[in-house]
A and B are shown apart, each in its own frame.
Chain A
Amino acid sequence: QSRTVTGKVTDGRDGSPIPGVTIHLKGSNVGTTSTADGTYKITVSENAVLVYSFVGYLSQELPANKDVINVKLANDDKQLSEVVVTGYTQVDRKKLVSSIAEVGSKQIENVPVTDVNQVLQGRAPGVVSASGSGQPGSKQNVAIRGIGSLNAGASPLYVIDGVIMNTGQYNYDVQTQSSDVLANINPNDIETINVLKDASATALYGARGSNGVIVINTKKGKAGTSKVNFKAQYGFNSPSFGNWKLMNAQQAFDYQRLLYANAGYSQADIEEIVPDSLLKHSFDWNKAAFQNGHTQNYEINSSGGNDRTKYYLSGSYFSQDGAMIYSGIKRYSVVSNLQHQVNDRIDIGMNMNLSYIDMDNSGAGNRYSSPLFGNFANNPLLPAYKPDGTLYTGLEDYWQDNSNTGDNFLYSAAVNKNINQNFRGLGKLYLNYKFTDWLKFSQTVAADFIYGHNKSYFDPTTGDGYNGADPGMSGDLVEGQQMSRTITSQTSLHGNFNVGSKHQFDYLAMMEYSPTHFEAFNAEGVGFGSGKIRVLDAASKPQTVGGSSNDYRFLSYLGQINYTFNNKYYLTASIRNDGSSRFGQDRKYGTFYSIGASWRVIDESFMKSQTIFNDLKLRLSYGSTGNADFGNYQSMQLYKYDVAYNGLPASRPSQMGNPYLTWERSNNSNLGIDMAFLHSRLTASVDLYYKKTFNMLQNRPLSPTSGFGSVAQNIGSMSNKGIEATISSRNVVGRDFQWSTDVTFGMNRNKILSLYNNQDIINPTDADGNGYTGTILRVGMPAYTWYLKEWAGVDPANGDPLWYTADGKTTNNVNLANYRTFGATMPRYTIGFNNTFTYKNFTLSAFFYGSQGNQVINGAARYGDADGARPNWNYAVMAGGNYWTKPGDIAARPKPIAGGNKNSVALSTRFLEDGSYIRLRNLTLGYNLPKEWLKAAKIQNIRVYAQGQNLLTITGYTGVDPELDFTGYEFFKYPVSKSVSFGVDITL
């Protein structure tokens, strides 16, 4: 017997109606959605249970025991969606067989970061994200479930709205600075980020999903009332130097005199080299190199639609000053996402994302004109200003004789220009044609256009721009352009069908073709008539020109089938055949597969009587994935034509080549359990995984006497295993006060299983060109284990540095010390810990991130705490304490001597430190203005908030920042910023 239930669904906090809520009968596919005013009507049978669910709210189940059921839905700040978008397809969350971490827009919105990867840190378990630089817009290094590959790319694959997108740097680089086109995406346009981790989830990207897949879904319109949002945000940031502190003028003066005295200089010499007069015009270079800056973000977006047409439109402007002077980023972006149901059979849609970035950089840490390095290379006893009050340009005799660098960055950073510009156009058009439910056809064409431009200008009056041999040829401009075009075509058949009432099937069959073409060009000119003219047209003499081009292509066929039995047992199987142009003749294709199953234990009859679990699901998956993120043309034996002699073209053997080169493969197993307790107030997901990577794409080091550095080969194997957990608890769920806690935990253990002839690889380099100096790849140990000479302290007799030799004795000759293994560069555990408190219209959240067990080298200390190795540079404050002064001293530092003490700064465990830290990543206080105030003004919502980023870091590390990329080596890292910002969001 059936009857009709009606009612209204409202927001539990403010009572406003919620349109678009899914209301369905538990255990069936029957359902409806709420209308624009939140009302609904549904036909139910006896003993039915209604399930109310909507994105951003906690689902509710109610027995349909009344004719009118009004429902208040509570907000879900974690905002897990009902369907999980895995890129090509969407999966009902309860059918999910695989390990997918989801980060929702609530966690992304308004966080003043340039790169979405910065949001993932600690929010998604198993994802380790770290920056190599605090420069806004610089590259983030991301690893999912450990280091996935040694010489092929170890970064995840990025998919935006179903299409694989390019990442990385597209700027001609004259300064070893990093920029990442991912910074072009406005994080506020993102609805969800799904991190696909196990084989079943990534299998659809089989070929390239070995390092995990990050699926970004931009916001789409929803049927119901249309709305307009205004966002404005303004903030302040300042550099954070951690425990790293440089000497002031008096400290540097005293220390410098000590260095020369210990080096045996006479008092008269010392007074000549370090005269008292230096203290009169000393200068704080460190303070001068950094700035307190601003962050601004302004944005308008609108979304809405009806049954037929849905839209999301947005435009935004974001700017952020860097911590270093003359550095920062500006981003302009527009997004247009449209969907239209043409008729019963056809729907068509388009996503478009255009963005442009301007990045200012005052130079990377390896240039003397860079404030980053210069603030340290210039001693505080060196004045910045001439006696007449103007800045030294660096070319004056006084400066040339007394500085180490010949460059006053305070002058040169202002007149030199170093700009990166990135344009990105991401577009996608799709058309779906439905023959019947079990046969649908889709065609998608997507494009990813990237244009990068770099300009590096050295002013004629600076050390880098001045030409002593021909002053007329002073001034130097280098410009470079890079263009990349990727077109992706996807043609698919898909559908679903049932066999009887208990067997449900859906399937997907697809062909995907994706060619990429890349072009680069650069030119240099010298001889500029004025420092204000900064275009190549004005160069009076051309210098070198360069240009390059490359192609790579992927061709793939894939199929997937999902089977559901009795709504309790789910099975997914997929297979994919991929071809890549990067591999050798006859080695281009690889086949990858996966199988996954899940079991909703909670729905079994034997669970009906228990009261402990509100939800219980087991997931199991196994499958293979591949990796082709490797250099182009590596299979070929090549001669390169990029050299010349005597004005004539020349060629050189550039690559040994390996025609047998093929896919790197991984086999992945995952066991997961999803649980809910205490009326679903406590939920937990735990995943165990084991991943074995083999046929690894490696650059096997060759003897340098061969004339080549390495050869590409499929060799060796490696494993990653670990545990990930997400626990969410709604601790207090009162009407006025709510408190929830979310914890993510990740632990990964990496181990090298085999290498070429099982030989160690020392000081390896990865696909991105990162050099892992001081580390080793050794069978049985984690990748990038430290391999160093062991510091044995200071000889009490004479203050010499000591290291251990192979037989356990000590030596003061570092060349005679032996190498040993120590810890690894990757963290052993990472943890994210978030608490959200809501009181009436106030929300306070505090998010901590912790990383434990990574060992890092403080490379800057090899310069700043160097026992006098660079006597005219500045020194870290710590260098001035606990050093050897007389026989018998048990000291931490050798006798400081101008010019250094017996290679005491050679790379050794002296500079190896525990890089564990806990950081308050985000602290937000928000307030929603009461709805009743806004009703008259026809405003739906106004939210004001204040938030802080990186306000607190707890660490024992002595350098600037222990959050390092995976090389684990800090060398004058561009410091991350602490920031506080204020914002308002208005919804009309």
Chain B
Amino acid sequence: GKLEVKPYDSLVDGEALGTFDQVSVALNGVYDGLQSTSYYGRNYWVMTEVNGDNVYIARSNSNRFLSSFRHDYTTQDADVESLWKAVYQGILRADRVITAVDAVKGDQAAKDLVKGQALVLRAMMHFDLVKVYARPYAQGNGSQLGVPIKLKFEDTYPQRNTVKEVYDQVILDLTTGRDLLKNADPSDKYHVNANTATALLARVYLQKGDNANAAIESAKLIGGGDYSLLPSSANFYNVPGSDEEIFTLRFVDNESAGSDNIGQMYLKPGYGDVRVSPDLYSTFDAADSRLVYLGKMATETVNQKYTGQGGVAGATSPKLVRLAEMYLIHAEAVSTTDPATALNDLNEIRTNRGLQPLVTVAPAAMLDSVLAESRREFMFEGHRYFDLLRNGKGVTRNMCGSSLEITAPCTIAPDAYNLIYPIPQAEKNVNPGITQNTGYGQ
């Protein structure tokens, strides 16, 4: 009748997921979810850097990420809330694909590839949540509260699963996904494949403290031959798709978030609020080729990893998983059980980055050497904060009281309540089942 109208930019649910082709389009939507400015489009990489000790926020700033730097989140913190929402929206997109793909007609092999990707991405999203909204795995051996696991669309008020339950689900999704992706093309860097699942498993096991499995998984890629370490170069982060990358979240040039992208948080002109800590700078050897990523501004050091992609200032395609991490995961995982192998792993990275190999490292110092290398290798890529959490360390900053930076705590103890994020008030307000993290009120 006259009153039947349909939207122009949307399809009703059944049509949108009714065929294999439509489900494939919906899978692209899962990747799009990762691109949210609240997630890998910017905040997840900036907040977790600012949470740690690699960077500081300049005294003169645009008012961004101050609460992350100071660890003084209120429960209404906008960054904390928008991350939570963005990641759960991504999880919903993955859930819908996982459910729908089994019901549509199509070639089973092609369907496996779609389902496998959605499972791996869903695992990554749950993992990213549990790392920041829950205490580290070791602080309670997984029995502490994690985040709600969402495996299908439900209009419910879920309680928090334990950290162990979340890790178990993440590992299950990654292993199931990897099986389904066994025929995926490993040279496609812009979609997750079996290697991505393996790399993420290595990362998850390491974070969990399961070093044996972390070593097994990371070794598969070190010896796999699909990837190789590449020398540092000024444009490395401005061009996606190199041989070192296992999974890169590709932004095409015209979908940059403009002045709100990752690089603009570091660059001047740009917001340029986030500067490099002298502490980090001082750990570099003069021969280190990665110094190409550090620039000078008067007396300060600035990050030049993300100067711009395709002519767009500050734009980058985040290289979410690359081979160098596998060496360092392997080194960390075997640092106490097999220090000699750990040293070899470490030297693979060092020699590739223009440094002399280390000849001897006392076994007791091996872990610290690995972590120091990881800090240099993955600075501004959202690793350092989790390296500290996983190893039971707090955050220690050496620049306290400098007139260059805003005032912030010098140390956040490993057991400090504000080491991790609060559950967003927006969730608390709606969901009577959710429990707030200790120290953040009721």
Contact = CB atoms under 8 A, between A and B. Distances in A.
Given A641-B9, A650-B25, A706 B155 contact: yes
Contact of B431 (A647, A705, A817): A705
Interface in A698-714: 701-709, 711
Contact of A638 (B10, B148, B307): B10
Contact of B315 (A265, A406, A469): A469
Contact of B270 (A468, A470, A701): A468
Contacts of B315: 469
Contacts of B424: 704
Contacts of A656: 155
How large, as a class, is the contact surface on chain A?
A: 35 or more
A934 interface: no
B403 A640 contact: no
B427 A404 contact: no
B92 to A, nearest CB: 3
Nearest to B11: A639
Interface in A498-547: 513, 515, 541-544
Contact of A646 (B26, B157, B250, B270): B250
Nearest to A403: B60
Interface residues of B, number: 92
B59 interface: yes
B84 A704 contact: yes
A815 B59 CA distance: 25
Contact of A543 (B5, B254, B430): B254
A548 interface: yes
Interface string A651-663: 1111111000000
A425 interface: no
Nearest to A473: B311
Interface in B164-197: 190-191
Contact of A651 (B5, B28, B76, B407): B28
A816 interface: yes
B212 interface: no
B88 interface: yes
Contacts of A632: 5, 7
Contacts of A647: 252
Interface stretch (B31-39, B279-287, B335-343): B31-39
Contact of A707 (B63, B75, B92, B407): B92
A588 interface: yes
B110 to A, nearest CB: 16
A636 B5 CA distance: 11
B85 interface: yes
B254 A581 contact: no
Contact of B93 (A707, A813, A816): A707
B442 interface: yes
A703 B158 contact: yes
A907 B425 CA distance: 13
A581 B13 contact: no
B158 A470 contact: no
Interface in A816-835: 816-818
Main SS at interface, chain B: loop
B265 interface: no
B13 A706 contact: no
Contact of A469 (B4, B32, B95, B307): B307
A273 B403 contact: yes
B77 to A, nearest CB: 10
A470 B9 contact: no
A544 B255 contact: yes
A579 B270 contact: no
Interface stretch (A112-120, A727-735, A897-905): A897-905
B4 A581 contact: yes
A466 interface: yes
Interface string B135-179: 000000000000010100111111000000000000000000000
Contacts of A368: 62
Contact of A649 (B25, B154, B250): B25
Contacts of A468: 267, 269-270, 307-308, 313-314
B347 to A, nearest CB: 35
Contact of B271 (A395, A406, A633, A638): A406
B219 interface: no
5 contacts: A468-B313, A472-B311, A581-B4, A701-B430, A704-B427
Interface of B: 2-13, 15-17, 22, 25-26, 28-29, 31-33, 35, 59-63, 70, 72, 74-76, 84-85, 88-89, 91-93, 95-96, 148, 150, 153-158, 190-191, 250, 252, 254-255, 259, 267-272, 298, 307-309, 311-315, 401, 403, 406-408, 422, 424-427, 429-432, 434, 439-442
Given A650-B29, A818-B441, 8 more contacts: A264-B401, A633-B6, A642-B9, A643-B28, A645-B29, A653-B96, A701-B429, A703-B158
